[in-house]
A and B are shown apart, each in its own frame.
Chain A
Amino acid sequence: MSSTQWTPELTLPVSVDRDHIQGRADAPVTLLEYGDYECPYCGAAYPIVKEVQSRMGDRLLFVFRNFPITTSHPHAEHAAEAAEAAGSQGKFWDMHDLLYENQKRLDDADLHAYAEQLRLDVRSFDGDLAGHVHAERVREDFMSGVRSGVNGTPTFYINGSRHDGGYQLESLLTALQHTAT
């Protein structure tokens, strides 16, 4: 698949302060995903990433950044902002998981219901969404992806280099383990 000799690199380095991360910051391998909550391919990758995380354990740091393609996915932008709003209350990953597990139910009422389910401060959450408080952050993620050569979703980076080898469990695991050793 990877027949280009140009390997795009991550232009905005992973930052534990800025980014949403899972795993140890000093892990030997970092897997970063640019994803869209309404994209079916990202939905397909979601359990694969979970499996990869469970197999790699402490050797893997996972990072997620937003790349909503609203042209194709009308709910993706609000969903991304909802995850960020939950993140501002310390529950980014809970919302992230809920969104991927309910990809077909992402309208504003659904997002509100997920915030209740996660026992967020729903008023603050609704205010964030209505005021697009996190839109700038989502756009920053998006543009950082564009400048790093993201060409669709999901796009993965392994230790800062774009992974063009597909995201089947085997290919992803092989690439990560190769990098880890």
Chain B
Amino acid sequence: MSSTRAVPAPFSRDEAGGLVGSTNTTVERGAGPLAVGTKAPDFELPSTPDQKVPLAAFRGRPTILVFYPEDWSPVCSDQLALYQELLPEFQRHDAELLAISVDGIWCHLAFARDRNLHFPLLSDFEPKGEVARRYGVYREGEGTSERALFVLDGEGVVRWSYVSPVGINPGADGILRALEGLDARDDS
């Protein structure tokens, strides 16, 4: 795997106190995750066998997109359990959380039931990884997505992103700080 990656600080502030995302991430095998300030590509992915969730439905509110490699893997389970625990915190910022992996919808349903997860797990299954590709976080060799986080503002613009090493759970601190940054911007 000839990929070199500079893992940036997940979040920092510029001198004016604005959000600075991980735009300096370098990934040789692709363009890297969508840069901060980019309009997030729209998508519509299934959350159940007969329901599709369009990203556009969440316009007007911050949206947290959580790309994760696979259902059932130990790190994913910890990460998503932590987000489930933090849903009330995210809701305080009026933010919606959507988790996305390339797993099929029945796999997602079984996983969500087993792990007690009550937010949408979207299935980026066909064409496989298409949404992950459009966000610059698809792992060609592995056929899964990166472990990547995006926080979008109410206009659907990327305001923060972070690509974690696949084996490391990125936690939630960066997400909360990004949401607070959006709140501060709205207040000013």
A interface residues with partner B (beta carbon < 8 Å): 1, 3-6, 8, 69-72, 142-143, 146-152, 164
Contact = CB atoms under 8 A, between A and B. Distances in A.
Given A69-B81, A71-B81, A71-B84, A150 B165 contact: no
24 contacts: A3-B165, A4-B7, A4-B164, A5-B7, A5-B9, A6-B7, A6-B8, A6-B9, A6-B10, A8-B171, A8-B173, A70-B85, A71-B116, A72-B77, A146-B86, A146-B171, A146-B172, A148-B173, A149-B173, A150-B171, A151-B168, A151-B171, A152-B75, A152-B169
Contact of B82 (A1, A5, A69, A147): A69
Nearest to A5: B7
Interface string B160-188: 00001101111111001000000000000
B117 A149 contact: no
Interface of B: 6-10, 75, 77-79, 81-82, 84-86, 89, 115-117, 164-165, 167-173, 176
Residues of A contacting B: mostly: loop
Given A6-B9, A148-B173, A152-B82, A72 B168 contact: no
A71 B85 contact: yes
Given A3-B168, A72-B115, A148-B173, 7 more contacts: A3-B7, A3-B165, A3-B167, A69-B82, A71-B84, A151-B168, A152-B75
A115 B103 CA distance: 46
A115 to B, nearest CB: 26
